[in-house]
Amino acid sequence: MTHNVLVVDDEPKLCDLLASALSQNGVTVFTAGNGLHALKVLEAEDIDLVISDWRMPGMDGPQLLAEIKSRFPQLPVIVMTAYSTVKNAVQSMRNGAFDYIAKPFDIDELDITVSKALQFRDILKDNQRMRAELDEHQQIDSLIGDSPTFRRVLQAIDSVRDSNATILLTGESGTGKEMVARAIHKHGNRADKPFVAVNCAAIPEGLLESEMFGHRKGAFTGAVADRVGRFMQADQGTLFLDEIGEMPLALQAKILRALQERVIEPVGDPRERKVDVRVIAATNKNLLDAVANKEFREDLYYRLNVFPIPLPALRERAEDIAPLARHFAHTLGAAAGKRFTGFSAEALQAMASYSWPGNIRELQNCVERATIVASGVVIEEHDLPAYLFASNPGSSGAPIIEGNVPADLDAALAEVEKAYILAALAQSNGVQAAAAQLIGISERSFWYRLKKLGIHVDKIVR
């Protein structure tokens, strides 16, 4: 493997000497007379190792080392010094130098040190290559589909992944919004920084502000220690706000300020904290309807909706059902110690005929059940759950409206919603958490719908 080495020294004769010695080992040598020139070479060439003098006019060795560690953190640096004190050597190593050599130096010693540094560089490059290959494989695994509607999602991800713009993911429950958010983060310019996910519907309203912004010890009863909020945890990375439509109005104003001014104020602490986060929000609600109903702030909606990505329901990308099912069968089967080669034609037809109201999440649950009961390497039609074969495919007991358009759309939709919830409760034996998961909504949202529709769970036949 050919390596490129940059020698930085204000003595041209020494640069020539090193270039001659290193070239005999097949190394391509670049030279620079000072630190600023060295940085220009680093920006223009693919350098594997820097050998820099300790004392130089202008930008000296320690300053150049600091710049390299900031701009090219994985690039090894060997420091040369005629003042080979323990203090200088220790300081250079603490500041990130790979090693140091003392002037005048022995050529054989130099060769050994350079060889070790280049081996280290090769290991880092191999690790980067393997991580890139793994990321590519994981991207294929996590975002599966070649339908036109899903290709548009992939194109949107590719367009926005290196941007710091706020992103709003919309779509029904179970369509993979968090998966898309993680893919945007993983393949973007903040991939090596934190990804922090918050489900706004799962945290009690009284704790949301502390959860988001943190608090000082003693700020309220139970605050026995300082707490770092999710915004600070995600600093320089990505903050994913799932189910943003369920966030209380009082907190929405503070979220808006954090997005606009990039500052937060922990509970009980008047000092502001600067934060640098890329926010990705997600919702299964129509936020414009929520704005019209005074349930969501209009200014926050437009602040979130900088780059919207609508995710299609699974029924809108039917051609992706088979590859998704095969992927789930492979991964879930492997986790259970089973190996599946695929699905029978009848099983694939049954899944294609179902409308999947719970979307990808429901498909995954369906395949997981099938991998448990299947006895062969091929998942058969009879291994699939019985609800796939109801008289109204995909309804899970909910009616399909036929005939004339209803005079009262809201009332008609409420009846459909009620039928879905009753069917889910019946299928889950009245367990509300399981029913909520079955139809792909949060428990908090499920409880809200029970109250709104006047459904009493103790009256459900179990």
**For position 363, which CATH number holds?**
1.10.8.60
Q: What does the DSSP 8-state code read for residue 406?
A: P
- 262 and 162 in a common domain: yes
Among 255, 286, 310, where does a domain finish?
310
Same domain, 368 and 424: no
Domain that holds residue 182: 147-310
The burial of 233, by beta-carbon neighbours within 10 Å (0-12 exposed, 13-18 middle, 19 or more buried), is given as: middle
Please check whether residue 397 is in contact with residue 422, taking contact to mean a CB–CB distance below 8 angstroms.
Answer: yes
In a domain, 275, yes or no: yes
Contact by Cβ (8 Å): 455, 418: yes
Residue 140, domain member (yes or no) = no
| Residues 207, 111 share a domain | no
Write the CATH number for 433: 1.10.10.60
Say whether both 10 and 103 belong to one domain.
yes
Considering the entire predicted model, what is its pTM?
0.57
Residue 122 pLDDT: 83
Q: Return the H-helix or E-strand segment holding 239.
A: strand 238-242
Same domain, residue pair 216 and 278: yes
Task: Print burial letters for 440-461: b (CB count within 10 Å at least 16), e (below 16).
Answer: bbbebbbeebbeeeeeeeeebe
Instruction: Show Cβ contacts of residue 6 under 8 Å, excluding neighbours closer than 6 positions.
Output: 29, 30, 31, 32, 38, 41, 42, 45, 47, 49, 50, 51
Q: What is the full per-residue pLDDT of the chain (462 aa) written as tens digits?
A: 578 999 999 889 889 888 888 888 888 999 999 999 999 999 888 899 999 988 888 888 888 988 898 888 889 999 887 755 656 666 777 778 888 888 777 888 888 899 989 988 887 777 666 555 444 444 434 588 889 999 999 999 999 999 999 999 999 988 999 999 999 999 899 999 999 999 988 888 778 888 888 887 777 766 667 778 899 999 999 999 999 999 999 899 999 999 999 998 888 877 888 999 999 999 999 999 999 999 999 999 999 999 999 999 999 999 999 999 999 999 888 888 888 989 999 999 999 989 898 899 899 989 999 999 998 999 999 999 888 886 444 444 444 444 555 556 667 677 777 877 887 787 777 778 778 877 777 777 788 788 888 887 754 333
- Which one of 271, 287, 310 terminates a domain? 310
Same domain, 199 and 288: yes
Same domain membership, residue 191 and residue 305: yes
Quote the tokens at residue 238.
């990505």
Query: pLDDT value at position 421?
Result: 83
Predicted pLDDT of residue 70: 82
In-domain check, residue 400:
no
The CATH number that applies at residue 299 is 3.40.50.300
Residue 135 lies in a domain: no
If asked whether residues 323 and 285 sit together in one domain, one would say: no
- If you write DSSP's letter for every residue of 57-102 in order, what string do you get? SSS-HHHHHHHHHHH-TT--EEEEESS--HHHHHHHHHTT-SEEEE
C-alpha neighbours within 13 Å on the C-beta side of residue 254: 18
| Assigned domain for 401 exists | no
| Residue 90 resides in a domain | yes
User: Is residue 193 domain-shared with residue 293, that is, in the same domain?
Assistant: yes
The answer as to whether 404 is a domain residue is no
Q: Which of 79, 97, 126 is the last residue of a domain?
A: 126
Same domain, yes or no: 287 and 416: no
DSSP 415-457: HHHHHHHHHHHHHTTT-HHHHHHHTT--HHHHHHHHHHHT--G
**CB-CB contact of 103 with 81 (8 Å):** yes
Backbone angles phi, psi at 88, to 5 degrees: -65, -40
Rounded CA-CA distance 146/319 in Å is 8
> Does 357 share its domain with 423?
no
| 190: in domain | yes
How many domains are contained in the chain?
Answer: 4
Task: Find how far residue 81's CA is from the centre of its chain.
Answer: 45
Give yes or no: residues 162 and 269 share one domain: yes
